[in-house]
Amino acid sequence: MSNNFDRRDFLKTATIGLAGAGVFGAANRKRSDLDYQLTHRQRFNMSGYAAPKLDTVRVGIIGIGNRGSGGVNRLRRIEGVEITGLCDVETDRVERAASELEDAGHNPELYSGSEDAWKRMCERDDIDLVYICTPWDLHAEQCVFAMEHDKHTAVELPAAKTIEECWQIVETSEKTKKHCMMLGNVCYDFFEMMILNMARHGYFGELIHGEGAYIHDLMAMNFSEDYYHDLWRLKENAERNGNLYPPHAIGPIAKLMNINCGDKMEYLVSTSSHDFMMADRAKEMAKENEMWEPFAGKDFRGNMNTTTIKTNKGRTIMLQHDVTSPRPYSRIFLVSGTEGTARKWPGRSRISNDHRGWLSDEEVEALEEKYTPEITKRVGDMAREVGGHGGMDTIMDWRMIDCLRNGIPLDMDVYDAALWSAIGPLSEKSIQNRSGSVDVPDFTGGSWKTNEPGMDLDLKRGGNTQII
């Protein structure tokens, strides 16, 4: 879905019911990042919040493209889900998705044909959760609108593109007491969950450093005429310079370090290489097809971005982003502690113990036997069968629905969504200032000091929803 969204309309929507309470201030004045940091007072702590349980979770899905179609397939397999609405600007997508649901007991209303059809779906009374799989520049607007209309939200990553938008989803979630959870995160991948379980049992000692990345050659897809609707992702790469896609990299590391729940990010610095490939590709393609001419003179973001973060407890984090170089896929996922280390990418997963070097395959298998968490034992095999990045997407969707049905807190909250997304614009700001340090906002309003870590790997509550 492309974006013809007017910033003034968004601010007007986002401030409904808030201006009078003094949360956003005057509706006609745009708040700066500093304004938010200085004036934000947490009106309700969404960390650990358990919304009233829903025996049946009625879901409306916006965006039935690459990610949304997968969401339709996964959600239809989860007990207690009723897909009541499907929306996309392209009519054939919603019709195709609806036909796939005919034999699964779902009869969704279809919305398409206009840029704002999704608003009509969000205004319905028979939807509990809006599942958002649209281009990045629509995410925050759609989250705010849905929450203002009494809906929980689950949104593909990143949840927002600007710090202003990050604050808006936080303040709207706190005001409405509606969840805003980021989808597409890799915290539910099998190795990552096991390492988190090991860390919680003290295997790695005191955590010192973590690394994550999104290194994925998307050159062909970015320059495809039809893979991304209206070339939206190529436009992102042509207009911004920084870590444009940080949540995959930061999510598992943030959970390991209890960020927002015992520790917080203090500041970051970011640097990007020169663009060695995208501008040249655009110029070559423009010679053959005039549709690429608008991109021929663009200053594309650099091939490799590296961002480093310092936390309040003195830990460090390194994140990388490269979606153009011909490199093997890697999210790195490295955690280093005083007593051990684990690393997943590239190649096979590896674990070390103290100063012994990498453990043998037999030793790792013994650790898997001991530390594979209950969530994997309960639904891992079925999740692999349903699929979605090897099954982690199914576990993510299943756990979100299970929490809503049982009235228990979600594993990821709006503060995670805002913080993990904020790394993008903060990295841009650092690069614009010759890699100067940039303070990271505290979206929790200080509650990070007492918040309990989320992500219940042991399924102490819930876990009774079936995958069918």
pLDDT tens by residue, 305-320: 999 999 999 999 999 9
Specify the number of domains making up the chain. Answer: 2
| Confidence category of residue 139, pLDDT binned at 50, 70, 90 | very high
Q: What percentage of the chain exceeds 90 in pLDDT?
A: 88
**Does residue 221 share a domain with residue 177?**
no
Tokens at 373, concatenated: 């968490």
Question: What's the pLDDT at 13?
Answer: 43
Alpha helices in 108-188 (DSSP H): 117-122, 136-148, 163-176
**Does residue 139 share a domain with residue 103?**
yes
Question: Who contacts 331 (Cβ-Cβ below 8 Å, separation ≥6)?
Answer: 186, 212, 213, 214, 215, 248, 249, 344, 345
Full-model pTM: 0.92
Question: What's the pLDDT at 389?
Answer: 96
Question: What's the pLDDT at 33?
Answer: 75
| Confidence category of residue 29, pLDDT binned at 50, 70, 90 | low
**Does residue 237 share a domain with residue 154?**
no
Structural domain boundaries, residue 225: 190-374+413-449
* pLDDT exceeds cutoff 90 at 86: yes
Strand partners for 272? 305
**Does residue 318 share a domain with residue 226?**
yes
* pLDDT exceeds cutoff 70 at 427: yes
Could you tell me if residue 37 is left (phi over 0), alpha (psi between -120 and 50 degrees) or otherwise beta? alpha
Between CA 221 and CA 83 the distance in angstroms is 30
Domain end among 182, 216, 250: 182
Average pLDDT over residues 261-289: 97
Residue 175 domain flag: yes
| Alpha carbon separation from 127 to 82, 108, 120, 147, 411 (Å, rounded) | 9, 11, 12, 11, 21
**Does residue 144 share a domain with residue 228?**
no
Amino acid at the residue 169? I
* pLDDT exceeds cutoff 70 at 23: no
**pLDDT tens digits for range 383-394:** 999 999 999 999
Concatenating the DSSP letter of every residue in 353-410 gives ETTS-BPPHHHHHHHHHHH--HHHHHHHHHHHHH-SGGGHHHHHHHHHHHHHHHT---
Question: What's the pLDDT at 103?
Answer: 86
Residue 456 domain flag: no
Q: What is the CATH number of the domain that holds 426?
A: 3.30.360.10
Q: What is the CATH number of the domain that holds 52?
A: 3.40.50.720
In which order are the strands placed within the sheet that holds 207-215? Answer: 350-353, 340-343, 334-337, 207-215, 316-322, 305-311, 265-272, 438-439
**Does residue 211 share a domain with residue 164?**
no
Tokens at 149, concatenated: 């209309």
Question: What's the pLDDT at 30?
Answer: 67
Asked whether the CA dihedral 394, 397, 403, 405 is positive or negative, the reply is negative
